[in-house]
Amino acid sequence: MAINIRPLGDRVVVQPFEAKDVSKSGIIIPDSAKEKPQEAKVVAVGAGKLDEKGNRFPVSVKKGDKVLVSKYGGTEIKIDGETYQIFREDDILAILA
């Protein structure tokens, strides 16, 4: 599903993966005990950061990448009932293979 949002500068819009309802050992986890997911899918990418001379540095992630983001960073937004987060490129910790 495509969203109609274009982040500015070095910002990246991600859609976090759902937190698991059941642990690996089969224990059901209530909503109040679920951890905030750190894995997310990149859905939109800004054009990149500008330096003081006006040169643009492109963002190193692209749409569709699976990334690891900081647990408590970013800004949460809701569009058409879906939850997304906006991060600066520096808050993205890794690209997952």
Q: Is residue 69 part of a domain?
A: yes
- What number is the average pLDDT over the span 66-74? 90
Residue 6 has pLDDT above 70, yes or no: yes
Token pair for residue 28? 């059901």
pLDDT tens-digit map of 85-96:
999 999 999 999
* CATH label of the domain that carries residue 61: 2.30.33.40
Check if the beta carbon of residue 18 is closer than 8 Å to that of residue 96.
Answer: no
pLDDT tens-digit map of 9-22:
999 999 998 766 66
Q: Is residue 78 part of a domain?
A: yes
Check residue 56 and give its pLDDT: 92
Q: Which domain holds residue 73?
A: 11-18+34-96
**CA neighbor of 20 nearest in space, from 38, 41, 34:** 34
Check if the beta carbon of residue 67 is closer than 8 Å to that of residue 73.
Answer: no
Check if the beta carbon of residue 63 is closer than 8 Å to that of residue 33.
Answer: no
**Band of pLDDT at residue 2, cut at 50, 70 and 90:** low
